[in-house]
Amino acid sequence: MLSSCGGNSLPPPFLMSNPIDVRSLDRLPKDGCLIVPGRLDAAQASFLAATLSDRHITWLVEETTTLPSDLESYLQLSGQGGAAFSKNDKSLSEVGENLAGKIEGNGVLIFVPGVVTCRPGAPCRIPADVLKALCALSLPVAPLEVSIPSEAMLSVENPAKLPAAIMTFGKAIPKGRASIARYREALFSCSEEAFSSRDFLNGSLAAALLQGLKQHASTNALYDGTDDSELPFEKILGAAIALSKEIKFATKKKRVGIILPPGKGGMIANIAVLFANKVPVNLNFTGSHEAVRSAIRQADLDRFITADPFVRKVPDFPWPPNRELLFVERILPRIKKKIIKWVVLSKFLPASVLTKLLGIGKSRGDDEAILLFTSGSSGQPKGVPLSHRNILANVCQFGRQLALPSNSKLLGCLPLFHSFGSTVTLWYPIIEGLDLVTYPSPLETKRLAELIRQHQVDLLLSTPTFLRGYMRRIDPEQLSSLRIVVTGAEKLPDSLAHSFEDKFGLLPMEGYGLTETSPAATINLPLEDPGNGLPFIPSQRFTSVGPPLPGLAIRITNPATEEENTLDQSGIIWMKGANIFKGYLDKPELTNEVIDENGWFKSGDVGRVDDDGFLYIEGRISRFSKIGGEMVPHETVEAAVNKALGLDNETERKIAIVGVPDERKGEAIALLSTIAGPALEQEVLDIRYKLMDEGIPSLWCPKKIIPVEDIPVLASGKLDIKGCEELISRS
């Protein structure tokens, strides 16, 4: 059904303190089309109409939509035509044929999204059922992404220098080809283009840290759980400046190794290395000797910052010679007067003057800021240089989605060599001005629970492996202050999530990321429907890993043919954005395998995106077996085996699914098990029958059981694929 709205006079122009940027206007078809913006307010509608003043404009609304009063007033006074449709109309294609008359020649229909309940910064504020109806009109569609930079900015940015909005046209979708998946993919790409063009991404991480420490000098602090000490940001700033000068004197190398757990020493050391215009390399002190030596060799390190107590605590680490170690607890007391001097100077000197005086920020933008190493779950660790641009982007993206109040506290117990521990518990709280409570081990959940209660921590970052520890011997009251629990690094089992919710009254939110993505890429976050009758755009969907962060584009390709799928079809996940690294350290051949000529990163994970924009991870391509031409997901089989054997609530891994060579079908499924008995052939049959009863195909069932004492896992809790393969080779 069609109806008209509108008036005859043009309203006064909307006054804006900052301009609106319209980009990629050349993508808008010169003949008629339907423009579908992800969001639109009165000022943006007025500006868009002025931009398209040479075209015949008709505003299109869905008849159940609630419009803001100022937008409704503008549309009525705009002097342009209007039309409406119903998402429930059973003949939407016929409605589209009638609407086609509105876009004859160079006319455009502009869809007007209404008021919805959603988290700030959501790029698409059109409910899925309305999007589906728009696609069913069978009109050529021009996606339009509208981003508001002030909604996704660092606390150290100047909002006065930001445009009021960036409106980016996506590639037009031809008549009859529009779908929710194609529209969302275009919107993600436009969001990436707009975000990646932001000026702050050309800045320096070191300069942002200095500005953050100064801006939040007396309002925020680090609380170290090892000795219950409190260190205000102003003292961290003074100590980091003084230590940076010692580091400059100690080595001429580009990079400096850091072997420290979370805490005041680890934070000061990392900031000081950056202030020295060098690159911090946090080494994995839980890795094998071979992996550690490989990382040291690749990074070309000759100095390492650590502490005497930590050297004694980790005697098995392949420690470099003493002459190469810089003991932070020895150096800081010796330079106490210099620290005090810089604390005092920092109170009075503006951040810009301090930055210039100290020579900070020579490295910036795409220059290497930090160096991390992958866990090596499927081979030798690979060096992942993350640029200033990468880190600043991810801090902004992650911070925007969380939108925590400035008085929030987060727990930092993930190791600093872990990408999540690095970005989210080092750089994020400093730049955004949040209190950080630290403890050196994510395994000591009893002490962590005490710290959460003592400091009333709001945000807990963990992995499913570490989260299991809270299920034992922890009083629910100790975690009552938590508002958000975010897990990553491995799949969050349904049973663990619900058990945690039953005990603590809070459902853990699953996120997704990789070292190569700095690391956060997607995240689920709680948002309750207020029941106000407005359409509700969810921000979390259980079993998904959440929607992409602002400025991240996603596409999917077929794992067998490498041809592009639509987002709703399962396949290899590719990502593009300012938080994506540029390539592995000194490994151009590996870089070329995962980064294409247009900057798209091949994640190696398999997944899909649903109609509401949520990403689902179905496994890593390295954790699939190709059997009889079919891709068999190891993690799906593992979950089914755990359920069949009643292992859902186990706190430690008891089984792992792996692929083994098979003469007849190329590959077969094997089960590593710590609970296998003597009658292995009978156990294989029993498990097969149980799995098939649950609907698991026969092809997916384990063909053999390999008894092991322990299932190899990495420090993050991820399955150690390389370790599993070594066990198989010895069996």
- CATH at residue 580: 3.40.50.12780
Three-class secondary structure of residue 667 per DSSP: strand
478: confidence class by pLDDT, cuts 50, 70, 90? very high
Task: Count CA atoms within 13 Å of residue 123 on its CB side.
Answer: 33
Characterize the bridge pairing of strands 509-513 and 520-523: antiparallel
Q: For residues 603 and 716, which has the higher predicted lDDT (pLDDT)? A: 603
Lookup: tokens for 448: 């962590």
In percent, the amount of the chain with pLDDT more than 90 equals 69
Q: What is the mean pLDDT of residues 721-726?
A: 80
Q: Using CA atoms, how far apart are residues 576 and 582, in angstroms rounded to an integer?
A: 11
* Residue 4 domain-assigned (yes or no): no
The verdict on 338 and 270 lying in the same domain is yes
Q: What is the CATH number of the domain that holds 673?
A: 3.30.300.30
* Residue 580 domain-assigned (yes or no): yes
Q: What is the mean pLDDT of residues 346-361?
A: 94
Predicted confidence (pLDDT) at residue 16 exceeds the cutoff of 70: no
Q: Which residues of 397-434 are buried (b: 16+ CB within 10 A; e: fewer)?
A: bbbbbbebeeebbbbbbbbbbbbbbbbbbbbbbbbbbb
Any bridge partners for residue 672, and if so which?
Answer: 656, 706
Q: What pLDDT does residue 676 have?
A: 72
Predicted confidence (pLDDT) at residue 7 exceeds the cutoff of 70: no
The verdict on 637 and 580 lying in the same domain is no
Share the mean pLDDT of the chain. 90
The verdict on 567 and 635 lying in the same domain is no
Q: What is the DSSP letter of 394?
A: H
Q: What pLDDT does residue 625 have?
A: 74
Strand blocks (E) in 10-71: 20-23, 33-37, 57-62
Provide φ and ψ at 10, rounded to 5°.
-85, 130
Any bridge partners for residue 410, and if so which?
Answer: 436, 459
Predicted confidence (pLDDT) at residue 118 exceeds the cutoff of 80: yes
Domain span at residue 291 reads 205-606
The verdict on 122 and 215 lying in the same domain is no
The verdict on 437 and 331 lying in the same domain is yes
Measured in residues, the chain has a length of 731
Residue 338 identity: K
Characterize the bridge pairing of strands 229-232 and 279-282: unpaired
Q: Using CA atoms, how far apart are residues 188 and 192, in angstroms rounded to an integer?
A: 6
The verdict on 143 and 215 lying in the same domain is no
Predicted confidence (pLDDT) at residue 8 exceeds the cutoff of 50: no
Q: Which residue in 415, 434, 430 sits closest to 484, CA to CA?
A: 434
Task: Count CA atoms within 13 Å of residue 233 on its CB side.
Answer: 24
Q: What pLDDT does residue 665 have?
A: 66
Predicted confidence (pLDDT) at residue 2 exceeds the cutoff of 70: no
Give yes or no for a contact between 309 and 264, defined as CB atoms under 8 angstroms apart.
no
* Residue 185 domain-assigned (yes or no): no
Encode pLDDT of 393-430 as tens digits.
999 999 988 888 888 999 999 999 988 899 999 999 99
Q: Which residue in 302, 242, 250 sits closest to 272, CA to CA?
A: 242
Q: Using CA atoms, how far apart are residues 371 and 279, in angstroms rounded to an integer?
A: 7
Provide φ and ψ at 126, rounded to 5°.
-110, 120
* Residue 611 domain-assigned (yes or no): no
Predicted confidence (pLDDT) at residue 33 exceeds the cutoff of 90: yes
Q: What pLDDT does residue 723 have?
A: 82
The verdict on 368 and 408 lying in the same domain is yes
The verdict on 636 and 601 lying in the same domain is no
Q: Which residue in 679, 607, 678, 673 sits closest to 641, CA to CA?
A: 673
DSSP-assigned letters across all residues of 117-145? B--TT-S--S-HHHHHHHHHT---EEEEE
Q: What pLDDT does residue 12 have?
A: 41
Q: What pLDDT does residue 376 have?
A: 57
379: confidence class by pLDDT, cuts 50, 70, 90? low
The verdict on 361 and 285 lying in the same domain is yes
Q: What is the mean pLDDT of residues 326-344?
A: 97
* Residue 191 domain-assigned (yes or no): no
What are the distances in angstroms from CA 324 to CA 168, 244, 257, 327?
Answer: 52, 16, 10, 10
Predicted confidence (pLDDT) at residue 9 exceeds the cutoff of 60: no
721: confidence class by pLDDT, cuts 50, 70, 90? confident
5: confidence class by pLDDT, cuts 50, 70, 90? very low
Predicted confidence (pLDDT) at residue 17 exceeds the cutoff of 60: no
Q: What pLDDT does residue 628 have?
A: 63
Q: What pLDDT does residue 684 have?
A: 75
Encode pLDDT of 643-686 as tens digits.
888 877 666 788 888 888 776 767 788 888 888 777 777 777 88
The verdict on 491 and 545 lying in the same domain is yes
Domain boundary at 606, 641, 667, which?
Answer: 606
Q: For residues 513 and 561, which has the higher predicted lDDT (pLDDT)? A: 513
Give yes or no for a contact between 546 and 523, defined as CB atoms under 8 angstroms apart.
yes
Q: Using CA atoms, how far apart are residues 17 and 21, in angstroms rounded to an integer?
A: 13
Domain boundary at 575, 606, 637, which?
Answer: 606
Q: What is the mean pLDDT of residues 559-583?
A: 94
What are the distances in angstroms from CA 67 to CA 38, 98, 114, 320?
Answer: 14, 24, 5, 66
Number of domains in the chain: 3
The verdict on 116 and 159 lying in the same domain is yes
* Residue 74 domain-assigned (yes or no): yes
* Residue 76 domain-assigned (yes or no): yes
Q: What is the mean pLDDT of residues 576-596?
A: 96
Q: Locate tokens 């962590």: which residue?
A: 448
Any bridge partners for residue 22, and if so which?
Answer: 167
Encode pLDDT of 137-185 as tens digits.
999 999 999 999 988 889 888 888 899 999 999 999 999 999 999 999 9
Characterize the bridge pairing of strands 304-306 and 325-327: parallel
Between 71-80, 144-153, 179-188, 628-637, the lowest mean confidence (pLDDT) is in: 628-637
Q: What is the mean pLDDT of residues 263-279?
A: 97
Q: What is the mean pLDDT of residues 254-264?
A: 97
Q: Using CA atoms, how far apart are residues 586 and 299, in angstroms rounded to an integer?
A: 10
In percent, the amount of the chain with pLDDT more than 70 equals 95
* Residue 416 domain-assigned (yes or no): yes
The verdict on 353 and 449 lying in the same domain is yes
Predicted confidence (pLDDT) at residue 131 exceeds the cutoff of 90: yes
